[in-house]
């Protein structure tokens, strides 16, 4: 593996921070090598140093810049990831929503939805347990990485991907064969509203949300960015709306407008009603 020059490392670190606020920190040369080596080769460039030189010579925002930013995001996800948030959704959160909101549409936002397994999991929970709610629910799926987001629109997953967390009865009920892959049925796909969006930039045009999933993305931001995003999310939550974050993440003491509630193994943050 070729060494990354300190100046190139710093340029990539800064670039990533300005594009999507991901804080690479120090000592992640292996990550740059493993993720950008292929981008350099595909662009016909000898190595990462040549890639940085080429990026510097082009205007920001072009396709090569986009590829580099996307390659540096971590898109790890799976169906029913961590399990308990979806149990809380089914057993507590949706029943509580139904008890105070008869007939109005449910709005859910997956704020870093990657390749879509998380919003499709939510859609399956709704279709299976609350079919009437599912008929009037929209799941806003956003990610800064347009390439992974496209997969949510397509709803096509490999055998390997469905093997990761999707129960067999859900696979049979909600997916159909697409060659060697599986495609989510229209009843799930029609619930998705995918949009490219950078959480680090103030957003407009997002309606008040009843439930926000912001899981396994806060870890990539520094404390200041994290706090700003959490405050903006709180302001986007409808009164009484709830926020899920990842199991290894904490926003404790970050926003006084959110109160912590425990549902079994799952912690959620609620905006005062």
Ligand X SMILES: C[S@@+](CC[C@H](N)C(=O)[O-])C[C@H]1O[C@@H](n2cnc3c(N)ncnc32)[C@H](O)[C@@H]1O
Least Cβ distance, residue 121 to ligand X (angstroms) = 9
Least Cβ distance, residue 108 to ligand X (angstroms) = 13
Least Cβ distance, residue 194 to ligand X (angstroms) = 12
Closer to ligand X by CB, 91 or 232: give it.
232
Closer to ligand X by CB, 113 or 271: give it.
113
Phi and psi torsions of 242, nearest 5°? -125, 150
Closer to ligand X by CB, 25 or 103: give it.
25
Closer to ligand X by CB, 5 or 84: give it.
84
Least Cβ distance, residue 103 to ligand X (angstroms) = 29
Closer to ligand X by CB, 81 or 270: give it.
81
- In the block, tokens 């169906």 appear at 79
Instruction: Round to whole Å and give the CA distance between 248 and 120.
Output: 22
- For the beta sheet containing 258-263, the strands, ordered from the edge strand earlier in sequence to the opposite edge, are 192-196, 137-143, 106-110, 209-214, 237-245, 266-271, 258-263
Instruction: Round to whole Å and give the CA distance between 268 and 262.
Output: 6
Can you give the length of the chain in residues?
A: 273
Q: Which of 219, 220, 263, 222 is nearest to 243 (CA)?
A: 263
Q: What are the strands, taking DSSP E only, across the chain? A: 106-110, 137-143, 156-157, 175-178, 181-184, 192-196, 209-214, 237-245, 258-263, 266-271
Least Cβ distance, residue 203 to ligand X (angstroms) = 10
Closer to ligand X by CB, 164 or 189: give it.
164
Query: Given the rule CB under 6 A, which residues bind ligand X?
Result: 20-22, 73-77, 81, 112, 114, 118, 143-145, 148, 198-200, 215-217, 220, 246
Least Cβ distance, residue 110 to ligand X (angstroms) = 6
CA distances from 102 to 67, 87, 105, 162, 191 (A): 45, 22, 9, 34, 19
């Amino acid at each position: 593996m070729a060494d990354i020059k300190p100046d190139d490392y710093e340029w990539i670190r800064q670039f990533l921070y300005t594009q999507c606020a991901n804080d690479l920190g120090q000592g992640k040369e292996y990550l740059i090598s493993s993720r950008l080596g292929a981008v350099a080769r595909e662009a016909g460039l000898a190595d990462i140093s040549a890639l940085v030189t080429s990026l510097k010579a082009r205007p920001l925002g072009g396709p090569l810049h986009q590829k580099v930013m996307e390659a540096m995001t971590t898109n790890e996800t799976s169906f029913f990831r961590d399990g308990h948030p979806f149990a809380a959704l089914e057993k507590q959160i949706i029943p509580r929503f139904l008890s105070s909101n008869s007939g109005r549409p449910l709005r859910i936002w997956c704020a870093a939805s990657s390749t879509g397994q998380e919003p499709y999991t939510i859609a399956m929970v709704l279709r299976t347990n609350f079919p009437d709610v599912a008929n009037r629910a929209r799941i806003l799926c956003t990610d800064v990485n347009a390439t992974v987001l496209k997969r949510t629109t397509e709803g096509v997953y490999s055998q390997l991907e469905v093997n990761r967390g999707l129960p067999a009865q859900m696979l049979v009920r909600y997916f159909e064969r697409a060659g060697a892959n599986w495609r989510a049925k229209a009843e799930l796909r029609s619930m998705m509203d995918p949009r490219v969006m950078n959480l680090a930039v103030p957003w407009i045009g997002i309606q008040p949300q009843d439930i926000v999933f912001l899981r396994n993305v806060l870890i990539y931001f520094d404390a200041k960015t994290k706090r700003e995003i959490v405050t903006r999310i709180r302001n986007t939550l409808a009164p009484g709306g709830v926020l899920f974050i990842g199991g290894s993440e904490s926003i404790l003491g970050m926003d006084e407008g959110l109160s912590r509630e425990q549902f079994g193994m799952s912690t959620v943050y609620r905006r005062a009603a």
